[in-house]
Amino acid sequence: MSQTPISDIYLEPERYELHSDGSPHCSKMARRQFFKVLGGGIVVLFTTTSALAQRRQGGRGNRRAGGETPAELSAWLHVGEEGTVTVYTGKAEVGQNIRTSLTQVVAEELPTPLDSIRLVMGDTDLTPYDRGTFGSRTTPTMAPQLRKAAAAARQLLITLAAEQWNVEGDSIVVADGKVSHRKTDQSLDFGQLTKGQKLMKTIGEDVLTTPAERWQIAGRSVPKVDAREMVTGRHHYSSDIQRDGMLHGKVLRPSAFSSSLISLNIQKAETMKGVTVVREDDFIGLVAPNEHLADRAIEAIEAQWNHPSQPSHEELFDYLKQHPVETRGWGGRSNHRQGSVEEGLKAADIMLEGSYTLAYIAHAPLEPRAAVAEWEAGKLTVWTGTQRPFGVRGQLAEAFGISEERVRVIMPDTGSGYGGKHTGEAAVEATRLAKAVGKPVKLVWTREEEFTWAYFRPAGLIEIQSSVKADGRLATWEYHNYNSGGSAIRTPYQVPHQKVQFHPADSPLRQGSYRALASTANVFARETHMDELANALKMDPLEFRLKNLKDARLKAVLEAAAERLGWEKRKSESHRGIGIAGGVEKGGYMATCAEVQVDPKSSEVKITRLVAAFECGAIINPDGLMNQIEGSIIMGMGGALSEAIEFENGVIKNPRFSDYRVPRFSHIPPIETVLLNRRDLPSAGGGETPIVAIAPSIGNAIFDATGVRHRSLPMRPNEGKT
Amino acid sequence: MQKRMTLHVNDGQYRIESDTARSLLNVLRNELSLTGSKYGCGEGQCGACTVLIDGRPRRSCITPVGAVAEKRIKTIESMEKNGQLHPLQEAFVEREAMQCGYCTAGMIMSGVALLEKNQNPSENEIVRSMNGNICRCGTYPRIVDAIRQAAEMMRGDAK
Ligand code: FES
Ligand code: FES
């Protein structure tokens, strides 16, 4: 099928994230546009010569030949004559609250009320090029850039005021949207200072900004800037966009993956009033004046498909192990050897083997993929919820053979993504239909389409062979991960002899990024195995971890979570258990403790308490961060306990919320969160890492309570119990 | 079956002609431009499309429009009155009981329905009556808090 090709970039999501697409460059359009859209005032352009920093951070082999990287426009900011500050960034808001946290960092450097700052985000005509919103990179990379642009604007305002008033710059104060000189009692609004002229300043990396210890606005909990739009239903998501003359589109889906069409009868659909069927090769879609009619028309199409036989979830893990694929040089990043496992084993006292599996799971963002496409005079505009608006622009330009300059992708803050909206399927489909019928077309995927034709978090099989000495020190660690990925694959524990390997496999389902990528899989396997080792040694699981750990930041979160739970005071009671797990990913440190209770009669397991400790450097918005941590934990509970994609012969068997069980109100135990604020360290993102330790902490607690060890996700601990 | 009917939505009356089997959600969003109610599943499982019909929370995605002519329909758009948020909306803002906000309208409508029949719901009662609403972003604990806070505010106002 042409509509959702299984592209090999999805075979290993980490690799995909690093590669991303296209060469970084200034958006020419953005440069041209800002002269048009702006009146007088101050424009600060932030250019960076380390545009590839994001890539270098991630790994290696990304540097372009030639060494020198061009200066790249990566953010810009406009102080208008009314004193409003408009900030332009290619990042996208998907519920992770960066619209608010980025507003805060701007207000920190350019002190003005938060409601006079507006962020224009993810609009390929208006904002500088951005590779995409993933990998928790907004806080460590975009926040400092906006901070610098804002600081430069402040500097410029001070210089202007000093000239006008003929006073020393350092006697001038900028606060609350005003520039003032106390001694001479003069004060002007930001806008008044520029007197209608347009002042442009280009800045680079070397602008000084306020250190975290002195933050006034950043570092505090401020309310979500667009909360009012959300609670009133006024915010327009992509699926809410209306255009004049707009029609509603639908695409005919094959009965299974990798199908080919054998017969097609569109007669009935075509005779329905207002319906136009569009057929281009294997793409069959239609438009209708409303969704209801579009649905009925698509049902009226008779099609027969042929598809090869395909593996099912039952045989998945054997299949993954038996179907390796070429690593194309990238597997190396995840492979690690140290010492000699064979040698190390000779001096070990206890040996242990374990094999761990994780099912495919779906992101299931509550807003499914949606797009509105409109062609006008050879120029295409598409509104769509995506974490990579520029990537989707490229995808559209390629699909329709036009230059990127003639494509504009606008990303209205979307009904979330969790790593699941990196691609532009709905955008391409809506555009194809709009082009064929010469009208704007809206296309909203159904829940079933979202569950079937989007991509999944990779399933994985992880095999560990380890050994310890009788005194509790790790001796050897051999670790093989099939398919799930390389994120956090290296153990943070001290082990002299290691062999760690990632084995990419031929995934039967389309797979891609997911919140925190494979670190959830790797932390689950590792932290479960660590618990098994502690048990074999008859050692306290926390003590065993601390004994083998040097990383002070990871130790700190483990200790903080344990302390809040009351780990030391725990008594071994029957029917009650506690468990702990920790992990490091994307600059964040997470530890989770779980407490479970077992019903003595039904032996049903109930999670009674969760405690999380998280550290990600200097915190920008504590309440916003808490919200992300709670959300990650709750999402993580789904993958840990109940979520699994079932499939057979190219068909998803449970593409509905009634069959695919996600966490609901009644599943949520009390959650306590401890934030460790390290103002001395740069800020890292917090929307992903807090998901990593929840599953093993629950599994370890269940073991503590029942002696039953769960090595597969989802654990479904109550399956078959009443 | 195509039929003419009158819909009473919020404080307005709308004469429409529609297939009676068409979902209320679809009519609200496409014909009346009331896009605050959201599509999340189309099978009554997520609550994103919740509206009040004669005061009861109903999933508009599985409610045929033909069944609600002549009934009182309230959507999220009617909750703010003269620039004044409903106490539950206010509590959602204050507790930041949302991330992407896509579930929010449905959560608020379900919550309002609960508060209208129970001024002092216990945590259990909240969980029970909200369990049909999914927040994929996982803001459940905050939503529970917001409902409690709104209940308190509303009781205070009533005194
Ligand atoms: S859209 Fe109606 S319940 Fe999900
Ligand atoms: S806030 Fe995103 S689904 Fe609830």
Asked if residues A595 and A608 have their Cβ atoms less than 8 Å apart, the reply is yes
**Beta carbon of B103 within 6 Å of any ligand 2 atom:** yes
Mutation for testing the A interface, residue in B86, B136, B140 having most A CBs under 10 Å: B136
Among chain A residues, CA nearest to B41: A447
pLDDT value at position B82?
93
pLDDT value, residue A16 = 35
- Comparing CB atoms, the residue among A228, A627, A657 nearest residue B45 is A657
Question: Hey, how many other C-beta atoms are within 10 angstroms of the C-beta on B12?
Answer: 11
Q: Confidence class of residue A586 from pLDDT cuts 50, 70 and 90? A: confident
pLDDT for the residue A51:
41
Per-residue DSSP letter, A425: H
**How far does chain B reach from its first CA to its final CA, in angstroms?**
50
Q: What share of chain B in percent tops pLDDT 90?
A: 96
Instruction: Calculate how far, in angstroms, residue A666's C-alpha sits from the geometric centre of ligand 2.
Output: 16
Q: So what's the pLDDT on residue A69? A: 42
The per-residue pLDDT of chain A, averaged, comes to 87
Distance, CA of B16 to CA of B4 (rounded, Å): 6
Residue A643 CA to ligand 2 center (angstroms) comes to 18
Would B2-78 and B87-155 be classified into the same CATH topology? Answer: no
Residue A582, φ and ψ in degrees, nearest 5: -145, 160
Identify from B65, B86, B96 which residue to disrupt to test chain A contact, counting A C-beta atoms within 10 A and taking the largest count. B96
pLDDT at A205: 76
Residue type at position A664:
R
pLDDT exceeds 70 at position A23 = no
The residue whose CA has the least distance to atom 3 of ligand 1 is B44
pLDDT at A333: 63
A413 touches chain B (CB under 8 A): yes
DSSP A270-334: HTSTT-EEEEETTEEEEEESSHHHHHHHHHH-EEEEE------GGGHHHHHHH-B---TT-GGGG
A579 beta partners: A594
A489: three-class secondary structure by DSSP: coil
pLDDT for B153 beyond 70 = yes
Residue B96 near ligand 2, beta carbon < 6 Å = no
Reply yes or no on whether the pLDDT at A376 is more than 80: yes
**The dihedral sign for the CA sequence B99, B104, B110, B114:** positive
Statement: residue B107 has pLDDT above 50: yes
pLDDT band at residue A48 using 50, 70 and 90 as cut-offs: confident
A535: Cβ contacts below 8 Å, ≥ 6 apart: A541, A703
Whether residue A511 is predicted with pLDDT greater than 80 in this model: the reply is yes
Residue A61: band (very low, low, confident or very high) from pLDDT cuts 50, 70, 90: very low
Q: Which pLDDT tens digit goes with each residue over B15-27? A: 999 999 999 999 9
**pLDDT higher than 80, residue A223:** yes
Q: Which fold has domain B2-78?
A: Ubiquitin-like (UB roll) (3.10.20)
The closest CB to that of B100, out of A242, A415, A662, belongs to A415
- Put simply, the chain B residues between 75 and 114 with a CB less than 8 A from any chain A CB are 75-77, 79-80, 85, 89, 92-94, 96, 98-105, 108
Q: Where are the domains of chain B?
A: 2-78, 87-155
Residue A67: predicted pLDDT: 40
Band (pLDDT 50/70/90 cuts) for residue A685 is confident
Higher pLDDT, A101 or A2: A101
Spatial strand order in the sheet of B56-59: B12-19, B2-9, B72-74, B50-53, B56-59
Is the C-beta atom of B134 inside 6 A of ligand 1? no
Chain A and chain B share a number of CB contacts under 8 A equal to 174
Cβ-based neighbour number of residue B158 at 10 Å:
7
pLDDT of residue A19: 31
Q: What is the pLDDT of residues A336-350, one digit of tens each?
A: 999 999 999 999 999
pLDDT attached to residue A330: 44
Q: How confident is the model at residue A221 (pLDDT cuts 50, 70, 90)?
A: confident
Sign of CA dihedral B99, B103, B105, B110: negative
What pLDDT sits at residue A328?
Answer: 52
A683: Cβ contacts below 8 Å, ≥ 6 apart: A139, A140, A143, A212, A616, A617, A618, A619, A620
Take residue B113 and report the two structure tokens written for it.
């329905």
**Which chain A residue lies closest to B130 (C-alpha atoms)?**
A665
CA of A707: how far to CAs of A143, A465, A716, in Å? 47, 21, 15
Q: What value does the CA radius of gyration of chain B take, rounded to a whole number of Å?
A: 16
Q: Which helix (H) or strand (E) holds A452?
A: helix A447-453
Asked if the C-beta of A420 comes within 8 angstroms of chain B's C-beta atoms, the answer is: no
pLDDT value at A24 more than 60: no
> Kindly report the CA angle at A420 between A284 and A698, in degrees rounded to 5?
135
Which residues of B fall within a CB distance of 8 Å from A654?
A: none
Lowest mean pLDDT among A360-374, A509-523, B32-46: A509-523
Give the domain B87-155 fold.
DNA polymerase; domain 1 (1.10.150)
Higher pLDDT, A335 or A582: A582
Q: Is A507 in the pocket of ligand 2 (CB under 6 A)?
A: no
What pLDDT, on the 0 to 100 scale, is given for residue A8? 29
User: Does residue B47 come out as left (phi exceeding 0), alpha (psi in the -120 to 50 range) or beta?
Assistant: left
CA distances from A587 to A241, A537, A686, A687 (A): 37, 31, 9, 12
Tokens standing for A19? 């590669």
**Model confidence at A573: pLDDT above 80:** no
Q: Which ligand is the nearest neighbour of the Cα of B43?
A: 1
Q: What is the pLDDT of residue B158?
A: 65
Q: Which atom of ligand 1 is nearest to the CA of B60?
A: 2
Instruction: Give the residue-averaged pLDDT of B37-64.
Output: 98
| Average pLDDT score over residue span A412-425 | 89
pLDDT of residue A193: 84
Chain A hits for B60, CB-CB cut-off 8 Å, are none
Task: Name the minimum distance, in Å, from the CA of B62 to any CA of chain A.
Answer: 12
pLDDT of residue A33: 53
User: Is A416 a pocket residue for ligand 2 (Cβ < 6 Å)?
Assistant: yes
Going by pLDDT thresholds of 50, 70 and 90, the confidence category of residue A13 is: very low
- Determine the straight-line distance between the first and last CA of chain A, rounded to whole angstroms: 44
Q: Report pLDDT for A405.
A: 94
Using CA atoms, how far apart are residues A331 and A312, in angstroms rounded to an integer? 26
**Of B97, B101, B88, which is closest to residue B48 (Cα–Cα)?**
B101
Backbone angles phi, psi at A240, to 5 degrees: -100, -5
Relative to beta strand A186-189, strand A198-203 is unpaired
The whole-angstrom distance between residue A432's C-alpha and the CA centroid of its chain comes to 28
Question: ipTM score of the complex?
Answer: 0.97
Q: Model-level pTM?
A: 0.91
- Mean pLDDT value of segment A258-280: 95
Structural element, H or E, at residue A545:
helix A541-547
Return the minimum-mean-pLDDT range out of A25-34, A167-176, A573-582: A25-34
A84-138 pLDDT tens trace: 899 988 888 888 788 998 999 999 999 999 999 999 999 999 888 887 777 667 7
Which element (helix H / strand E) includes A42? strand A41-48
Distance A365 CA to ligand 2 centre (A): 8
